[in-house]
Amino acid sequence: MKIYYSSVLALFSAVIFLTSCGNNNGKSSGGALNSSNAEKVYVAPGEQDEFYAFMSGGYSGNLTVYGLPSGRMFKEIPVFSQFPTSGYGYSEETKPMLETSHGFIPWDDSHHPDISQTNGELDGRWIFINGNNTPRIARISLTTFETVEIIEVPNSAGNHSSSFITENTEYVVAGTRFSVPIPQRDMPIKDYKGNFKGALSFISVDPESGHMDIKFQLMMPGFDYDLSHPGRDKSHGWFFFTTYNTEEANSLLEVNASQNDKDFIAAVNWKKIEEYVNNGGGTKMPANYAHNLYDEDTHMGTTTMKKEVLTVDPLKVPGAVFFLPTPKSPHGCDVDPTGEYIIGNGKLSADLTVHSFTKMIDAIENKKFDGEAYGIPILKFEDVLAGTVKSGGLGPLHTEFDGKGNAYTTFFISSEVVKWKLGSWEVIDRKPTFYSVGHLMIPGGNSRKPFGKYVVALNKITKDRYLPTGPEMEHSAQLYDISGEKMELIYDFPTHGEPHYAAGIPASILAPKSQKIYRLDENKHPYAVLSPDQARVERKGNEVHIYMSTIRSHFTPDNIEGVKVGDKVYFHITNHEQDFDVPHGFAMIGQNSSELLVMPGQTKTSIWEPKQVGVWPFYCTDFCSALHQEMQGYVRVSPASSNIELSWSLGED
Amino acid sequence: MKYFLKSMTILFTLALISCGGGEEKKEEKISIGQKPKVETKTEAPTSNEVPASQRITLDNKGVGKIKNVELGATVDQAMVDRGANLFKTNCTACHKIDKRFIGPSPTGILKRRSPEWIMNMILDPKLMAEEDQCAKDLLIEFNGAAMANQNMTEAQARDILEYFRTLN
């Protein structure tokens, strides 16, 4: 009887559905408009997106990869957080990636991804992202989509005005949000003012290998350095940092850091400081920070503790650092594609302050100063100001550019994106966001050559946009078509963690060079098994090393005896597949870590410390073939006192 | 819905009964595990059907980009050495010289398969298993264990073929 009812119901609703469709098509132009929006974001089955979007994962510590315009998530790349899905941060090879001077840290708060550039244009070689909490910068390969390097930043705390790169990827820059005693020492907190310092770190990037090294740290007054962006084109060689808490308050900053009418944008001539440092300038100070590097040939991460860092006192390099007064605790610091305009997004203001690079140089040359802060010249506000955008919005945070002379600014408090014109400062359009937008991203919007087709708004609050999932909702992102004069909201999609910033790039740059397999004949892992006849088990004291290989669908060996309670068993697993997208997984019962997901041609290592006598199975976790369920094996674990010899086999061998 | 539940219950009971039945007759349970190899192979295709692994299909070049292969009058030792190495790294997880394993042994393969068929099978096993009758039958004979594409270049597949010429 119930069946009958539900089929009637289904029929009935189908009729309604059909009818309503007909009606829509028939009358309203709104319906037609909606369907064209649907077409704009519809990527048909089997077809691919036009852009990659890399969203920071915020408190997930990772980086997620999406397609635009579809909003489909392709991958979560583990960066600062352990990731049981692949074994990152659990496998012996990747554990060193999460080492710091504070020991092994399995998590961070990832914020601002930035794609490498050549001549100010996206080159798609690497993407960098900062760990905010325990200051670190990571480099991710855009051929393997894996984290390949993480460098800790000493003398820094709340690594927030990071990780932004100069236009030839000469440097990735990491500025401290919280100023701290340098060197760290035991002192009263209330003595902050005048005693704490803010370190701005310039990390050089090797043009071939991408390897990072801290070239110098600029020791600035103890303000909060919030965000930054490089100069480009005509302003290449400069870097701009927003500051707040120029009051140097150490408590109740919500009130006490909002006293000054204007804070600063710090303009740093890094080329001048680089020259000073290359000529032997700067002071080496003792430090302790981790440099973690993943070798793509050995598939192995290593940690080197570095013991020294070069510091630069800005007063020792005249003409290198200036302050641009900027109203109302500016947050985002954005530079337009021509390099002329430096935008201060005064988050407690209704207006945007735009400084002119040309005027800034002129003010410097003509010494149009308005005093100094800790010996650093403050330029006269009126003499560097290019214009003010009177938007009528509230709480501007970030600005991106479309490369056609327009800028797009997010307003957090009034929940909107405002499009305005560079030079005339007039507001062209405004569209609501749902809700409380933070960052926004135009692919290449932070380079000389933006791809101004879409803007993604990264909202902080989701509320009713999706089906409720308990008190916690994923953050909502919104996609706007910006190809016309007016912006058009065309799509909503959820994002993972809390994306602070994002970086987008045309798929045509990345997709062709995305790596498909690791070649077995290039595998230099010291524990790799390059042909199945090398598979073996070796004992070294209480360590047992199992050299194992996998192919659809068996492990070699799959029967192992002679392991004892108290042993430390290393599974070194080499995946002998050489076909795209055929990883094998490995999981051992009772293991105090995670599974491994081993890519074709790759070797990964996992430790198991058996505590109980018995015969314990392991299996492949990644459905690899029709015989995947058969991909399993056993380890016999004998008492610690047993004298059973190590042995291993597969089939009758 | 009730109908559905009822039939599920019946099905489930049946499943339980049949399971129980299997366990009672232990000897037969063992024979279920072994017989298909011996019996169904000889019984099901009946009479004179030769298993795919022993069938001779020298006229069949297979499906794929390899249309014609010229074998030299003598084997090229440099190619053989390279081929043996590649075979060891990429193939021995499933193919043993001296016996059938996950897949068939390559020993004597040139008496059964054309050089083109062999190279096509190495270069695109998925396409072959979909479109070549012999490859399809092999997949069934070998329990559905699909051959892995090891991303060999044409030159590498040719080296392996040369190595196979020495396996008689």
Which domains are assigned to chain A? 54-246+263-513 (2.130.10.10), 520-649 (2.60.40.420)
The maximal CA–CA distance of chain A, rounded, in angstroms, is 90
pTM: predicted TM-score of the whole model, two decimal places: 0.88
Q: Answer yes or no: do A551 and B94 touch at CB < 8 A.
A: yes
**Chain A residues within an 8 Å CB radius of B93:** 532, 549, 551, 554, 556, 576
CA B148/CA B141 separation, integer angstroms = 16
CA distances from A221 to A64, A162, A237 (A): 35, 18, 22
How many angstroms separate the CA of residue A2 from the nearest CA in chain B? 6
A285 with A309: CB under 8 angstroms? Answer: yes
Q: Answer yes or no: do B88 and A533 touch at CB < 8 A.
A: yes
Q: How many beta carbons lie within 10 A of that of residue A75, not counting itself?
A: 13
Instruction: Supply the pLDDT for residue A259.
Output: 87
Q: Answer yes or no: do B90 and A520 touch at CB < 8 A.
A: yes
Q: Which helix (H) or strand (E) holds A501?
A: none
Q: Answer yes or no: do A626 and B88 touch at CB < 8 A.
A: no
Q: Answer yes or no: do A582 and B144 touch at CB < 8 A.
A: no
Q: How many beta carbons lie within 10 A of that of residue A2, not counting itself?
A: 10
Q: Answer yes or no: do B149 and A554 touch at CB < 8 A.
A: no
Say what the alpha-carbon torsion angle A182, A185, A187, A191 is, to the nearest 10 degrees: 0
Q: Using 70 as the pLDDT threshold, list the residues of chain A that sit under it.
A: 1-35, 653
CA A492/CA A486 separation, integer angstroms = 18
Taking the Cβ of residue A515 and every Cβ of chain B, the question of whether any pair is shorter than 8 Å is answered with no
Q: Which helix (H) or strand (E) holds A15?
A: helix A2-26
Of B92, B89, B6, residue with least CA distance to A3: B6
Q: Answer yes or no: do B92 and A531 touch at CB < 8 A.
A: yes
A549 with B94: CB under 8 angstroms? Answer: no
Sheet holding A369-373, edge to edge: A224-230, A238-244, A262-269, A321-327, A376-379, A369-373
Rounded to an integer, the average pLDDT of B81-99 is 95
User: Which of B88, B93, B146 lies closest to A626 in CB terms?
Assistant: B146
A476 with A492: CB under 8 angstroms? Answer: yes
Checking if the pLDDT of B42 tops 60, the result is: no
**Sequence-distant (≥ 6) Cβ neighbours of residue A651 within 8 angstroms:** B101
How many angstroms separate the CA of residue B24 from the nearest CA in chain A? 26
How many angstroms separate the CA of residue A620 from the nearest CA in chain B? 15
Of A306, A145, A286, residue with least CA distance to A214: A306
Q: Answer yes or no: do B150 and A533 touch at CB < 8 A.
A: no
Q: Among A551, A573, A628, pick the best mutation site for testing chain B contact (most B Cβ within 10 A).
A: A551
A141 with A155: CB under 8 angstroms? Answer: no
Give the tens place of pLDDT for each residue, B118-167. 999 999 999 999 999 999 999 999 999 999 999 999 999 999 999 999 99
Q: Which residue of B has its CA nearest to A519?
A: B151
**Chain B residues within an 8 Å CB radius of A515:** none
Query: Quick one: what percent of chain A has pLDDT higher than 70?
Result: 94
Q: Which helix (H) or strand (E) holds A588?
A: strand A584-588
Q: In angstroms, how far is the first alpha carbon of chain B from the final one?
A: 64
Q: Which residue of A has its CA nearest to B139?
A: A626
Instruction: Supply the pLDDT for residue A3.
Output: 46
User: Which of B89, B102, B144 lies closest to A530 in CB terms?
Assistant: B89
Name the token pair of A650.
């597969």
**Chain A residues within an 8 Å CB radius of B129:** none
Q: How confident is the model at residue B6 (pLDDT cuts 50, 70, 90)?
A: low
CA B89/CA A79 separation, integer angstroms = 32
Rounded to an integer, the average pLDDT of B14-38 is 47
Name the token pair of A524.
């230099």
**Chain B residues within an 8 Å CB radius of A554:** 93, 102
Is residue A86 classed as helix, strand or coil in its secondary structure?
Answer: coil
Give the tens place of pLDDT for each residue, B93-111. 999 999 999 999 999 999 9
**Chain B residues within an 8 Å CB radius of A579:** 148-151
Does B45 or A646 have the greater pLDDT score? A646
Residue given tokens 């929006």 in the structure block: A37
CA A108/CA A133 separation, integer angstroms = 6
Of A92, A588, A36, residue with least CA distance to A301: A92
Give the tens place of pLDDT for each residue, A340-356. 999 999 888 888 999 99
Q: How many CB pairs under 8 A join A and B?
A: 54
Q: Answer yes or no: do B143 and A549 touch at CB < 8 A.
A: no
ipTM score assigned to the predicted complex = 0.76
Q: Measure CA A129 to chain center.
A: 4
Phi-psi region of A97 (alpha: psi -120 to 50; beta: other; left: phi over 0): alpha
Name the token pair of B95.
């193919």
Q: How confident is the model at residue B46 (pLDDT cuts 50, 70, 90)?
A: very low
**Chain B residues within an 8 Å CB radius of A576:** 89-90, 93
CA A382/CA A385 separation, integer angstroms = 5
CA distances from A487 to A197, A418, A442, B148 (A): 43, 9, 13, 49
What are the residues of chain B with a beta carbon less than 8 Å away from any beta carbon of chain A? 1-4, 88-90, 92-94, 101-102, 143-146, 148-152
Taking the Cβ of residue A49 and every Cβ of chain B, the question of whether any pair is shorter than 8 Å is answered with no
**Chain A residues within an 8 Å CB radius of B150:** 577-579
Instruction: Supply the pLDDT for residue A349.
Output: 84
**Chain A residues within an 8 Å CB radius of B4:** 3
Checking if the pLDDT of B30 tops 70, the result is: no
Instruction: Supply the pLDDT for residue A23.
Output: 39
Class of domain B52-165: mainly alpha
User: Which of B88, B145, B150 lies closest to A553 in CB terms?
Assistant: B145
A26 with A18: CB under 8 angstroms? Answer: no
Instruction: Supply the pLDDT for residue A457.
Output: 98
Q: Which helix (H) or strand (E) holds B107?
A: none
Taking the Cβ of residue A552 and every Cβ of chain B, the question of whether any pair is shorter than 8 Å is answered with yes
How many angstroms separate the CA of residue A1 from the nearest CA in chain B? 8
